[in-house]
Structure 1
Amino acid sequence: MKSVPWDAKTIGEVMFRGNTVMNGYLNDRKATEEAFKGGWLRSGDLGVRHSDGYM
């Protein structure tokens, strides 16, 4: 749960949060709480952050 530098080398996990990320969980409170533990949806995808803002 730490941010990675914008160096295009350090690998980190892609994580999301927001009201439109997983609309299917809207009416299932228990599933929502499990999917968003810690306030983030953990995608399981890996990536790097580039200095131009892209991953």
Structure 2
Amino acid sequence: MAIETTRFDVLKTPEDRFAYLEAAFEAGDPSLVAHALGDLARSIGITAVAKDLT
């Protein structure tokens, strides 16, 4: 019997995204900031990020 799953995304709201990125910057580790930016891009969608930058 197959198990049904749903996508779980804790970075749904802009406030959640801001808090996550803020915590990464406060940690002071550049690799953590880079990882957080990647997480945010995947959360929003790479295409949406690219459109916002143009």
TM-score with structure 1 setting the length:
0.32
TM-score, reference length from structure 2: 0.32
Query: Which of structures 1 and 2 has the larger relative contact order (alpha carbons within 8 angstroms, sep 6+)?
Result: 1
